[in-house]
Amino acid sequence: MRPGPRSLLAAPPPGLALCAALLLSLDLRCQAVQAENVTVLEGGTAQISCKLQNYDGSIVVIQNPRRQTLFFNGTRALKDDRFQMVLFTPRLVRITLRNVSVWDEGGYFCQLYTDDTHHQVATLSVIVPPEVPTVEVKSQAVEGGEVELTCLSPRSKPPTTLRWMRDRREIPGVVSQQDNGKTVSVSNTIRIPVERRDNGAAISCEASHPALNGQRKVRHYRLDVHFAPTVRIVPPPGILREGDSLTLTCSVSGNPVPRNVQWSRVNDTLPERAETSDSTLTISRLSQSHNGTYLCQAHNNYGRAADHYMLLVYENVSLVESVKDVSVPRMVPPTSHPTSPTLSSTFLDPEDPGAVVETQSAVPYAVIGGILALLVFAVICVLIVTIWCSVRQKGSYLTHEASGLDEHGEVQEAFLNGNDSREGKKEYLL
């Protein structure tokens, strides 16, 4: 208990002071007041209560920490709407204070004007919970460098605890506090090395405070790490032939993302038919004159990068060409399946991997073509042999009539057996 002033004549307004002086002259019995300490959040409502004992109807004065009288026996003395007298009974006097600010803190006096004045002080404490902290970046983070981040909680009471967290682990930092009169500003500064893979990494600053009941106010922050670009040309699948269209896509990364990509052809100009938009290059109806090395380039403030693509346009392998080739069939290569011979070897061009694809589709046509050619060849042979025989028979008809017929039959047999026609011919001639 702090010893209060015996008299409050200086504190109340002059009119009230006179009144109080009159009351003080009265002889009153021993009375007592009790006050309770109050803690309230800033902006909240505080209840200040004074318990009375043996109240005899004497004047009750309530004063604020600056000893200004708020209520003089139930009558408002100070013009501050936030204070309300809510209860005045012989046992209890209670006032409320709305929208408490830190400047309302201090001892509130409940006082009875009696012979020996009793008073009690109710101490009002105001707690200021922190807002969500803010993050300040000292300088732009560049890969290979360090970034300095400051987490700031500008106002709290008592001081907030700030922690930097990454992947649920604390990053130790340098904490500093600054007293701003009633509240404290707290900061926590960290310096961390950054690489490009840290770009976009999530870190957070957490504020914990007694007023938050174990909850935390968290500021999430994503690292923004600047780095030089990388570019990669996504090549088209398969091989390209004359008449195909080509689309090259340049996938670009970098921070900041390069604003545009440049396409070019090494030692040459881009073909007339080439169209570029954003990160793609399109050439419709390829021709072999488009052969060359194509470059995709991009840059930002931190560097430049390029990727190249070598375009080789292969000859147009048309259907007609395939059939033409089959008319001169070669033997089946040893690796092929003996019962289902393919004619792949005919078309296999070591420099033309795409030919395999073409060949597979051409096989049925090639087989038909080959059979047709064989048939034509056989018919021609039969015709020649027939004509030749008839000529010879004419010459020797009279001398070897029977043998001529025999020979003719032999030839026919040779053909029917499916032997090579030349063998048949030889046999006949001998």
Ligand X SMILES: *[C@@H]1O[C@H](CO)[C@@H](O)[C@H](O)[C@H]1NC(C)=O
Nearer to ligand X, 43 or 200 (CB): 43
In angstroms, the CA 64 to CA 62 distance is: 7
Q: Tokens representing 204?
A: 């957070």
Cβ neighbors of 248 (< 8 A, separation 6 or more) are: 233, 234, 235, 236, 263, 280, 281, 282, 294, 296, 309
Using rule CB under 6 A, residue 34 touches ligand X: no
Nearer to ligand X, 271 or 404 (CB): 271
Pairing status of strand 240-241 against strand 313-314: parallel
Least distance to ligand X from the beta carbon of 268, Å? 8
Nearer to ligand X, 178 or 318 (CB): 318
Of the listed pieces 51-59, 152-160, 191-199, 201-209, which binds ligand X according to CB under 6 A?
51-59
Nearer to ligand X, 145 or 210 (CB): 210
Using rule CB under 6 A, residue 293 touches ligand X: yes
Give DSSP secondary structure letters for 269-338: PPPTTEEEETTEEEESS--GGG-EEEEEEEEETTEEEEEEEEE-EEPP--HHHHHHHHTS--PPPTTS-S
Q: Tell me which of 3, 14, 57, 334 binds ligand X, using CB under 6 A.
A: 57
Q: Tell me which of 84, 96, 123, 412 binds ligand X, using CB under 6 A.
A: 123
Give DSSP secondary structure letters for 78-135: S--TTEEEEEE-SSEEEEEE-S--GGG-EEEEEEE-SSS-EEEEEEEEEEBPPPPPEE
Element (H, E) at 383: helix 355-396
Size of the site for ligand X (CB under 6 A): 24
Nearer to ligand X, 51 or 166 (CB): 51
Least distance to ligand X from the beta carbon of 267, Å? 4
Q: Tell me which of 131, 148, 242, 275 binds ligand X, using CB under 6 A.
A: 242
Q: Tell me which of 243, 303, 395, 409 binds ligand X, using CB under 6 A.
A: 243
Backbone angles phi, psi at 272, to 5 degrees: -60, -35
The interface mask with ligand X, positions 308-327, x = CB under 6 A, is ----xxx-x-x---------
The interface mask with ligand X, positions 325-344, x = CB under 6 A, is --------------------
Least distance to ligand X from the beta carbon of 362, Å? 12
Least distance to ligand X from the beta carbon of 275, Å? 19
Give DSSP secondary structure letters for 234-263: EPPSS-EETT--EEEEEEEEEESPPS-EEE
Of the listed pieces 53-61, 186-194, 213-221, 370-378, which binds ligand X according to CB under 6 A?
53-61
The interface mask with ligand X, positions 353-382, x = CB under 6 A, is ------------------------------
Nearer to ligand X, 57 or 214 (CB): 57
Of 328, 320, 325, 363, nearest to 344 (Cα)? 363
Give DSSP secondary structure letters for 212-231: GTT-EEEEEEE--EEEEEEE
Q: How far is CA 85 from CA 213, 318, 355, in A?
A: 31, 103, 100
Give DSSP secondary structure letters for 25-75: TS-----EEEE--EEEETTS-EEEEEEEES--S--EEEE-TT--EEEETTE
Using rule CB under 6 A, residue 47 touches ligand X: no
SS3 for 382?
A: helix
The interface mask with ligand X, positions 159-198, x = CB under 6 A, is ----------------------------------------
Least distance to ligand X from the beta carbon of 315, Å? 6
DSSP code at position 139? S
In angstroms, the CA 293 to CA 422 distance is: 54
Nearer to ligand X, 2 or 337 (CB): 2
In angstroms, the CA 190 to CA 171 distance is: 7
Nearer to ligand X, 176 or 293 (CB): 293
Using rule CB under 6 A, residue 245 touches ligand X: no
Applying the rule CB under 6 A, the residues between 87 and 116 that interact with ligand X are 88, 99, 101
Nearer to ligand X, 29 or 191 (CB): 29
Q: Tell me which of 63, 73, 204, 346 binds ligand X, using CB under 6 A.
A: 73
Of the listed pieces 126-134, 139-147, 229-237, 289-297, which binds ligand X according to CB under 6 A?
289-297
Identity (one letter) of the amino acid at 407? E
Pairing status of strand 216-222 against strand 32-35: unpaired
Q: Which residues bind ligand X (CB under 6 A)?
A: 23, 37, 57-59, 73-74, 88, 99, 101, 123, 242-243, 266-267, 288-289, 291, 293, 312-314, 316, 318
